[in-house]
Structure 1
Amino acid sequence: MLRQLRRFTMVNTYSHLLPDASAHISASLSYYSPPANGEVPYAMQYNPDPNGKGLPTNIVPQEHRRPIFDLRQLVDEGRESETNIATTGFQIVPKAISATGMKYEDWEDEATITSKYYSEVETLLKNVTGASKVIIFDHTIRRGEKEGEETPDTPESRKPVSRVHVDQTPMSGRRRVERHASSPAEAERLLRGQAQLINVWRPLRGPVLDVPLAYADARTLQKEQLVKSRLIYKPPTPEGETLSVEYSDEHRWYYLSEMQPDEAVLLKCWDNTPDGGRPTPHTAFLDERYHGKEGVTLRSSIEIRALVFHEPQE
């Protein structure tokens, strides 16, 4: 059996939490529980069996029903600044900054995404974070499916991820900088300053009703609840790492109801500084008021993964 990977540690300083909104829903969230055979948790990012269904994993989901508080009133009152990647780990972006010039049909064209939309996201991240440099290294479009018509999740057809997780570990975040910087010397220089990996999540059409995105206030986490898990890619791509999350009833969950394409949320997945290293877990979830109901538009969304730098003063 493989040796258990050590867990990622961080300081838990949760105080001054976002107030519980009066509007909330209850939903089942899928947490991590250890594999029964003691193996290191893993999730394959390709299927070695061409006839296999879905992507193989030994991660066993553990379902917990939790309240998820709606931030719509906070946004309607112009209080988005109460969310911040430096404190809550997630951040709702005001529409004045988050609006996009992309049309729905533009999302079908990879060249338009990587030229037009990447440029928009780079500007957004610099405006919101004050960063001096942004490197966007990939994106994923996810589309929901009708009940009874589900197809396997594959690299070519990605589905919403209904599992509580964090996209990066400290090691995988640092590796991303080393991989995407222009040179080893440039990577070393950038890592002397503050480096972050931020996921920019946006609907392609709205309102999002059936499978919204939920995110936990990072200050409600304990260090021992984050567990390194292997991401196994098709060779010769090297393995990656992500963080699975064990359950705690202290986790406080939020979402933004009925999101539209001119709205975006930032999710901090990694930060290299000792006082800024709190990531936010996130997950898709089924809103039972709408999921599977006739006439409800299926969720379509895009997530951009970007390295964001505050370069060292040298």
Structure 2
Amino acid sequence: MSHAADLIADSLVAPINFASPRMREVETFVVSNFEPEKTTLVVEEQAVPIRDARLLAPAASYQREGFELHHVPVENPRWTDDAWIQSSYLPVLRDLALRITGGAEAVTFPGSWVIRDTAGNGAAPAAAFAHMDRERESCREIIRNNVDEAIRTRYPRFEMINFWRALSPPPHDVPLAICDQRTIAPGDWLVGETREPNMRFQVKHMAAVYNPDNRWYYYSSLSPDELIAFKNHDDDPARLPGCLHGAFRDPTVHGGVPRVSLETRFYVFHES
């Protein structure tokens, strides 16, 4: 049964781009942020009820819906300074990643954080379609190339957590929509690949077709002191896979400042 009807009363209805069902007939597809002429993914727009997660009671949980909100203010941030991010910002997120997931070790590395700017300005644009950032084998390849063997061989399971922060003040013209991981079906996925100038090897990418049973959420009026933590991948196929997500244009915002955001991924390793 579709969940759309019971969400419309406390939702905005906005378009989200989904992979066209015709893409099921294609062997693979390409997505590229910085070289859009390489993109072969065909998308179709669907009007979707997107509920304000601030209204949820109890509040959304990383372990249940797959996402949750945290208040994490940062003093004197230097978001475009990689050295500052590594010395001052990442340690805070590492501790938060372990606390949220219950993991034993959390690792990140250059290339795992990116600034996006809906106005362009030399940054990556918003990823304006429903997707998961990484597919299982690509996650394992990334781990093999970037994580010490002692960590890789010690822990039997890993997951990827994404910390998403709006750097610009609200209201945001293009917020982030996140799908409750419990409402995602295996048939929603399509696997292609990401190609960017700075990528050293092929990275498989997961887009999704429209499913009316998906439950979509966003957080209204996110401040730069808040961040969304959401599950981006779980290496254990018996567990919930993580959250589809994607940018959407908020039809209620007119003349807002173009949204600038920072997303930071950690690979979290578990004892079991």
TM-score in same-fold range (> 0.5):
yes
Q: Which amino acid aligns with 1:61?
A: V
Larger radius of gyration: 1
Distance in 2 (alpha carbons) for counterparts of 1:268 and 1:36: 25
SS at match of 2:108: strand
User: Which position in structure 1 is the counterpart of 2:17?
Assistant: 30
| CA displacement at 1:310 relative to structure 2 | 1.7
Residue pair 1:233, 1:239 contacting (<8 A) in 2 also:
no
SS at match of 2:243: coil
Question: Of residues 63, 76, 87 in structure 1, which corresponds to 2:64?
Answer: 87
Matched, 1:307 2:270: no
Question: Of residues 192, 203, 212 in structure 2, which corresponds to 1:240?
Answer: 203
Distance in 2 (alpha carbons) for counterparts of 1:22 and 1:235: 44
Matched, 1:177 2:143: yes
User: Which position in structure 1 is the counterpart of 2:99?
Assistant: 127
Alignment identity in percent?
26
TM-score between the two structures when normalised by the length of structure 2: 0.88
| Cα RMSD for the two superposed structures | 2.5
Matches within 5 A, 1:130-279: 130-137=102-109, 138-145=112-119, 157-183=123-149, 185-190=150-155, 192=156, 194-234=157-197, 237-279=200-242
Q: Which amino acid aligns with 1:228?
A: V
Distance in 2 (alpha carbons) for counterparts of 1:257 and 1:275: 32
Residue pair 2:34, 2:124 contacting (<8 A) in 1 also:
no
Q: Which amino acid aligns with 1:89?
A: G
Q: Structure 1 residues 203, 160: closer, same or farther in 2, change over 3 A?
A: same
User: Which position in structure 2 is the counterpart of 1:58?
Assistant: 40
| CA displacement at 1:233 relative to structure 2 | 4.0
Structure 1 stretches lacking a partner, 5+ long? 1-13, 48-53
| CA displacement at 1:46 relative to structure 2 | 5.3
Distance in 1 (alpha carbons) for counterparts of 2:171 and 2:93: 21
| CA displacement at 1:273 relative to structure 2 | 2.1
User: Which position in structure 2 is the counterpart of 1:41?
Assistant: 29
Q: Which amino acid aligns with 1:27?
A: A
Residue pair 1:214, 1:283 contacting (<8 A) in 2 also:
yes
Aligned residues: 265
Residue pair 2:33, 2:125 contacting (<8 A) in 1 also:
no
